[in-house]
Amino acid sequence: MSAFRSGLVALLGRPNVGKSTLANALARSRVAAVSPRPQTTRRRITAVVHGDGWQAVLLDLPGFQKPADALTARMQATVDRNLEDCDAALLVLNAAEEIGGGDRFIAERLRHAGLPVIVVLNKVDGLDRDAVARAIVRASELVDFAALHPVSALRGDGVDALREDLPQLLGEGPRYFPEGAASDQTEEELAAEMIREAALARLRQEVPHALAVDVQEIEPAREGVVVRAVLVVETESQKGIVVGRGGSMIRAIGGSAREAIGHVWGTAVHLDLVVKVRRRWREDESMLERLGL
């Protein structure tokens, strides 16, 4: 069995090229608009794309929301900082339009970051072969890419082929989210998923479905954020296993969860984890409601 592959993939492109539509199509699920609450974190997860033995976390990076003439040096610095710990990028272009200043700005930052790039030529529906060929030439002149895919995110054409190319961008890495995790989740829910995943990676045998994670609070700290969470189990003996001898297990879980969350969010994370027993929590409606189950 080969190792699990994962990574952070920046989803880039000027406004309106179809990034959100593409994220939907790739994730095969509805990716609802992210809640308008203030983000505590620097980055926003647009979608989690699950494959066989791999997982790509698509990120929406701030810094591309302005028209080309407003792309300042300051914005460039923001973009560079945000690209820093991404593993790869999907650059979405509108195949029906000429390359613009916004596309060139992004291409330049990608070159600077040195990330592997897959170009997605979107909106090919309604274009004839010659027009698509011309768009491919324009894209080739814009940026060096590992692969290029003409797609219609709206109709789904070409999206499966694109998805199959994603794992080649990824290195060995953890499974950040359980299968089925999407993206229209709150930061609390996403953090809970990552903590649960980190716990189950170590406890898969002992505490299978009895473990729930309830993130109570995410608070900005002087550096990064503090995440306070309760790990809920059903019996004292499960609690003993999750805590471990002298707290060794919960520390280990906390260590890998902290790393995973920090990597995905691009923020220093302090984790405050508590383990509690709640007998038969799975039959408790209000608990299930809280956990969004």
For ligand GDP, the binding residues (CB under 6 A) are 13, 15-21, 122-123, 125, 152-154
Whole-number minimum distance, CB 174 to Mg ion, in Å?
A: 27
Using CA atoms, how far apart are residues 32 and 60, in angstroms rounded to an integer?
A: 14
Tell the smallest beta-carbon distance from residue 69 to ligand GDP (Å). 18
Q: Considering CB distances under 5 to 8 angstroms, the limit depending on partner class, which of ligand GDP, Mg ion, none binds residue 153? A: ligand GDP
Element (H, E) at 188: helix 187-203
Closest contact distance (angstroms) between CB of 213 and ligand GDP is 31
Strands 44-51 and 212-220: unpaired
Given ligand GDP, Mg ion, none, residue 158, with its beta carbon under 5 to 8 Å by kind, binds none
CB of 59 to Mg ion, least distance (A): 13
From Mg ion, ligand GDP, none, interface partner of 21 (C-beta below 5 to 8 A by class)? ligand GDP
Q: Would you say 149 or 258 has its CB closer to ligand GDP?
A: 149
Helix 236-243 and helix 187-203, axial crossing angle in degrees, nearest 10: 90
Report what 5 binds from ligand GDP, Mg ion, none; CB cut-off 5-8 Å by kind. Answer: none
Looking at the DSSP bridge assignments, the partners of residue 226 are 219, 270
Distance of CA 22 to the CA centre of its chain: 14
Q: Which entry of Mg ion, ligand GDP, none binds 206, CB below 5 to 8 A by partner kind?
A: none
Is there a contact between 173 and 4 (Cβ–Cβ < 8 Å)?
yes
Residues that bind Mg ion (CB under 5 A): 19-20
Taking CA 177 as the corner, what is the angle to CA 205 and CA 239, rounded to the nearest 5 degrees? 40
With CB cut-offs between 5 and 8 Å by kind, which of ligand GDP, Mg ion, none does residue 174 bind? none
In angstroms, what is the minimal distance from the CB of 133 to ligand GDP?
18
Q: Cβ closer to ligand GDP: 97 or 189? A: 97
Q: What is the DSSP letter of 247?
A: G
Nearer to ligand GDP, 13 or 262 (CB): 13
Q: Residue 177 to residues 2, 56, 192, 205, 238: CA-CA distances in angstroms?
A: 19, 10, 9, 19, 22
The residue at minimum Cβ distance from ligand GDP is: 18
Q: How far is the CB of 244 from ligand GDP (least distance, A)?
A: 44
* Residue number, 6 or 21, with CB nearest to ligand GDP: 21
Question: Which C-beta is closer to ligand GDP: that of 125 or that of 189?
Answer: 125
Read out DSSP for 129-168? HHHHHHHHHHHHHH---SEEEE-BTTTTBTHHHHHHHGGG
Backbone φ and ψ of 63, nearest 5°:
115, 0
Output 37 or 129, the one with its CB closest to Mg ion.
Answer: 37
Cβ distance to ligand GDP smaller for residue 17 or 218: 17
Please choose which of Mg ion, ligand GDP, none residue 266 contacts, taking the beta carbon within 5 to 8 angstroms, the exact cut-off set by kind.
Answer: none
Q: At what angle do helices 73-83 and 101-113 cross, to 10 degrees?
A: 50
**Shortest reach from residue 20's CB to Mg ion, in Å:** 3
Quick check: 30 and 24 in contact, CB under 8 A?
Answer: yes
Phi-psi region of 28 (alpha: psi -120 to 50; beta: other; left: phi over 0): left
